[in-house]
Amino acid sequence: MPDKPSRTRTRTLNQYLDPYPHFGRLREVGRAVRIRTAFAGEGWLVTRHEDAQRLAGDPRLSVEARHAGPELRCRQDEFKFRFADCLPETMLIMDPPAHTRLRRMVAREFTPRRVAGLASYIEETVRELLAPLPPDGTADLVTALAEPLPTMVICRLLGLSEQDATHLRPLVAALTELPVDPEVAARVAAARDAVWTYLSDMIEEKRRRPDEGLLSALISAHDDEGRLTDTELTAMAGVLFAGGAETTTQMIGSGLLLLLRHPEQLARLVDSPELVPSAVDELLRFESPVTLGLIRYATEDIALGDVTIPRGDLVFVGVATANHDPRRFPEPERLDVARRDNPHLAFGHGPHYCLGAPLARLELQVTFSTLLQRHPHLELACRPADVPWRPSALRGPASLPVRLGPRAATDR
């Protein structure tokens, strides 16, 4: 059946509520649908998995805001905020070849061996965070676990302290607020400036007293080879921190909520802990923190089905809608912790595929394994509908009240 015309109507999308039924309707409207968002005005949502995967690496779609058309620039300037302003000169907002140079630079130091070396620290930290919780009582697992853990892990990776983690955590969280009005945009800008200043000071400290952390490794490469400017170095630290902390916080919270909403899958995971790796990818598919999509700008007209996306328009390469596309995933609305064929787009695709994906997977696997081993009888302490969601650019629960239940006998 041919795609239905979608050029004549713009749809408003509210991602705070359950967006998946709406995404399902949009997939049937067309391969690219015109939508209106509160924070960026109008753009095109690419709705289906095949198109989203292909376009995520299409050079006709740029991450650089200079390709935005006049109307889009006016909308962004209205709040004196652009996505590129959050952390300037990062590889997140660069196309090849500039992006290739920076990514290669950090990938050389952000090695599988360095990531694997964090496993024992992650497990120890999860146990330490869970230890003060009442053995048979209730707790908020967002406050107790999902928020502090990723910040502590990324600080460990970079060579920063737990005191640094405590200071930076609220600032990084503020960076993900949606700039829906000038007041929020100003708050985001203030957080950006504070993060930038703090990391710049940390870089100078590491220059004087280098250690084995990733930040010192990048500084050493910069000083010896001159391949990173001071701005690039600070921006790299910022994007590693923000990307490694805030997204993983949402992944942990959303993943736990999904398991609690599907107790049969939770029980399956408790009984078969070898399923944790496949469960992590299924949870990422089902509820990605990047709900709306990867933000791109069309550098030329792009035909997609019956629609032509004009040059200069904003494009959201749909992540959540692609991850629920029945054309690619059998029974996409069924959570299956043993799902094997699972090419989800939670970490993106193409040149901008998430560099920290191996660390995120490790962190999620260790967290879920340790938590469920210690508290195999977790239950929600409220109705699923009463769990509040963050009003943020990243989707995740703001709190997650649970009944911990009796601990496993081996953990008492």
- Do 158 and 237 meet the contact criterion of CB atoms below 8 Å apart? yes
**Does residue 83 register a pLDDT over 50?**
no
Neighbour tally for 392: CB within 10 Å:
20
**Does residue 120 register a pLDDT over 80?**
yes
Structural domain boundaries of the chain?
11-411
Which two three-digit tokens encode residue 72?
A: 């889009």
Residue 224, CA distances (Å) to 231, 235, 374 in order: 16, 19, 47
Of 12, 1, 18, 2, the closest CA to residue 387 belongs to: 18
- Do 391 and 173 meet the contact criterion of CB atoms below 8 Å apart? no
Averaged over 97-116, what is the pLDDT? 88
223: left (phi over 0), alpha (psi -120 to 50) or beta: alpha
The band of 98, judged by pLDDT with boundaries at 50, 70 and 90, is confident
**Does residue 73 register a pLDDT over 90?**
no
The band of 15, judged by pLDDT with boundaries at 50, 70 and 90, is very low
* pLDDT for residue 85: 54
* pLDDT for residue 74: 63
Give residues with Cβ within 8 angstroms of 152, minimum separation 6.
Answer: 125, 162, 165
Rounded CA-CA distance 260/266 in Å is 7
- The overall average pLDDT reported for the chain is 87
**Does residue 72 register a pLDDT over 90?**
no
Q: SS3 of 398, please? A: coil
* pLDDT for residue 39: 67
CATH superfamily of 11-411: Cytochrome P450 (1.10.630.10)
Rounded CA-CA distance 19/324 in Å is 11
Neighbour tally for 307: CB within 10 Å:
18
Consecutive H or E run containing 224:
helix 214-225
Averaged over 80-85, what is the pLDDT? 47
Taking only the tens place, the pLDDT of each residue in 247-304 is: 999 999 999 999 999 999 999 999 999 999 999 999 999 999 988 888 899 999 999 9
* pLDDT for residue 5: 40
Taking only the tens place, the pLDDT of each residue in 186-212 is: 888 888 889 889 999 999 999 999 999
- Do 54 and 46 meet the contact criterion of CB atoms below 8 Å apart? no
Of 181, 193, 182, 1, the closest CA to residue 87 belongs to: 193
* pLDDT for residue 81: 43
Which backbone phi and psi does 62 adopt, to 5 degrees?
-110, 150
Q: Is the dihedral of CA 248, 249, 255, 259 positive or negative?
A: positive
Give residues with Cβ within 8 angstroms of 373, minimum separation 6.
Answer: 273, 408, 410, 411
**Does residue 346 register a pLDDT over 50?**
yes
* pLDDT for residue 4: 42
Q: Which of 90-94, 284-288, 378-382 has the weakest average pLDDT?
A: 90-94
Taking only the tens place, the pLDDT of each residue in 219-228 is: 887 656 567 8
- Do 214 and 115 meet the contact criterion of CB atoms below 8 Å apart? no
Averaged over 108-133, what is the pLDDT? 94
* pLDDT for residue 3: 44
> Most confidently modeled of 20-29, 95-104, 275-284?
275-284
